[in-house]
Structure 1
Amino acid sequence: MNGKLQVKTISKKSLIEITATELIILALLGVFAVVLRANLRIPLQIPGHHGLEVMAILLLGRGISKSSFASSISCFFAALMIFFPFMGFKDPFLPLYYILMGATIDFLFKTIKNSKTNVLLFSLIGAIAYMIIPLGRLFIHFTVGYPYQSFIKLGYLYPVVSHFLFGATGAVIAVGLIFSANKIKSKN
């Protein structure tokens, strides 16, 4: 010690930069999920089949993010995109379902231990979260009387179960993407 002040250097980015970067990435993932869903008009005639790509993208963001509100952020921006008329969504309540999905994912990740490392728990969270769409539609259908074609054509149980299964499958895809990203990251 010679009495001079040592200059401190910080090799890491500051917390504000990481948070801003993470916020932008999560917002873009939410927007991408909705844009992809709007443009992938595959006529499978199976309710909930978009759970594959939507839950894969949203849970990918939750899996790679350090924020405990990652899914809420992504789903908020996804809900904003749904409001644009050129996206082609006809369900007026869909933005609300997306916001509830994000809150559910974040809540379940906080309350269920080891959910980021256990594939079964991760897929269960994705399944429950994506099942919010038909459950919310059932609630609206019975309280307001808004007619949903999937319930008219297929009954009440089939859409709920198919959303559950596609949400779980999308979550498994997200686990694979997160595992691959972590493997690539660890090599560098």
Structure 2
Amino acid sequence: MIKRPSYFSLYEIALLSLFGALAFVIRMAVKIPLHIPGNSGILWVLPLIIGTALVRKPGAGTYVGIVSGLLASFFGLEALHVFDVFKYTAMGVTVDLVSMAFGYRLDHPAVAFIAGAAGNLVKMVVNYAVHLLLGVQGTFILIGIGVSSVTHLVFGGLGGILAALIIGRLYRAGVVHQGDVPDDG
């Protein structure tokens, strides 16, 4: 019987799992007291984008999103934390799609801005969809979505730019090589 190789190597699974856990830890531990919707996106999109950029395979962002979403669903602190798996997974899928569309050039600040902004916006939309499904009146959601969408776009994009700078620095320092991930063998 021929053993089929797994899609992600053991190294990639470990790396993506660590970035998923890091996204959860950053989201829970680091509080930015700006009181502006979406401001935490500047930090917690970093592990998602960096993990996707280092592995450079379709599904990498989704994997990070699922891991961080499961951790947030089980250990989250917000009232509706049980539904966090949907928000984080949607964000990971979005970062995956943007990454594939731009050839995994997440070291470029413009591409990373788009990935971070799109991911943070999708997270916001899924959050509002969950609230709508749970019975929150649509007028409250429409009022909140205007300003919130702009701030989610800005902060997610800024987080993407920070991720691009970190990724570029890792490539230039030779810590990781663009497109090279060790194989399990």
Q: CA deviation at 1:133?
A: 2.0
Aligned residue number for residue 106 of structure 1: 96
Residue aligned with 1:84, SS: helix
- The CA deviation string for residues 26-73 of structure 1, in whole angstroms up to 9 with x for no partner, is 111111111121011332211111111111111011111132211111
Report the RMSD for the aligned CA atoms in angstroms.
2.8
| SS of match in other structure, 2:45 | helix
Distance 1:145 1:45, change over 3 A: same
State the partner residue of 2:12. Answer: 22
- For structure 2, the 5+ residue unaligned runs are 178-185
Percent of residue pairs bearing the same amino acid type: 22
Larger Rg: 1
Contact 1:151/1:159 (8 A) holds in 2: no
Structure 2 partner of 1:56: 46
| Equivalent in 63, 75, 96 of residue 65 of structure 2 | 75
- Offset at 1:117? 5.3
How many residues of Structure 1 are paired with residues of Structure 2 in the alignment? Answer: 170
Matches within 5 A, 1:150-169: 155-169=144-158
Question: Does 1:138 find its partner at 2:128?
Answer: yes
Using the size of structure 2 for normalisation, the TM-score is: 0.80
One-letter amino acid of the counterpart of residue 162, structure 1: T
Is 1:97 aligned with 2:87?
yes
TM-score between both structures, scaled by the size of structure 1: 0.78
Query: Are residues 1:37 and 2:27 paired?
Result: yes
Structure 1: runs of 5+ lacking an equivalent = 1-14
